[in-house]
Amino acid sequence: MPDSPWVLYWPLLLVGAYLLGSIPFAQVIGRVRGIDLRLVGSGNVGAGNLTRVAGWPWGLTAGLLDGAKGLFAVLITQEMGFTRGFVGMVGLAAVIGHNWSLLMRGRSGRGLATSVGMLAALDPVLLVWTTGWSVAGWKIGGGAAGFLGWGLLPIVSASLGRPATESILLLALSIVLMSRRMQGNPDSPRGVRPAMRRAIFDTDPGGEGYPQGADDLLTP
């Protein structure tokens, strides 16, 4: 833990990371292109939906910017000398900001790209696991692959002998990601079974050419 006065800044770092995560880059790019992502495709404000409706260059740009939110939140906190546990909490705050953006009235993307950025700075070796499941998603479906890749990440971390603090943080990250998937879109069916379907497959039944809620084409 850094000496005073840095320790006094931890609430500001958490709030700052949340606000950084809240910047809806996909929606900003979409509006520049004359598109409101909430009204097209899956209705999700994320890089995957932007890719579907505006093309992969724009979706890739949004994905990289979203990833940078998690990456820089962690790197800056590391440079300030905070403990690994607090560094992870700041990265998690950025993911929460992305998923429940203050600027989007509390609901935006799925947080995958921001989580990738967080993990790249915190423990890049673990990206091998999530990236492997991302590739597997082309065969078994991106939603199910995301559920396995990110849902099992805390177990993978513990099995590799990572510190308990890191594994607990990754468990919190998995809960945040799965909670956002379970929430779905405003028009998603309510109830336990639809929520569990969204958690596992990141989709609702039906949809006119777009699964209602899937937004994981660009990121593991």
Q: What is the pLDDT of residue 204?
A: 76
Please state, as a whole number, how many other Cβ atoms lie within 10 Å of the Cβ of residue 72: 17
* In-domain check, residue 96: yes
* In-domain check, residue 12: yes
> Cβ contacts of residue 134 below 8 Å, gap of 6+?
142, 145, 146, 149, 219, 220
* In-domain check, residue 145: yes
Give the separation between CA 72 and CA 67, rounded to whole angstroms.
9
* In-domain check, residue 34: yes
* In-domain check, residue 146: yes
* In-domain check, residue 211: no
* In-domain check, residue 217: no
Q: What is the pLDDT of residue 121?
A: 97
Q: What is the pLDDT of residue 105?
A: 80
pLDDT tens digits, residue range 134-167?
A: 888 887 887 899 999 999 999 999 999 999 999 9
* In-domain check, residue 155: yes
180 lies in which domain range? 6-201
Give the separation between CA 23 and CA 19, rounded to whole angstroms.
7
Q: What is the pLDDT of residue 218?
A: 37
What residue ranges of the chain have pLDDT lower than 70?
A: 1-7, 205-220
> Cβ contacts of residue 5 below 8 Å, gap of 6+?
none
Q: What is the tally of structural domains in the chain?
A: 1
How many residues in total does the chain contain?
Answer: 220
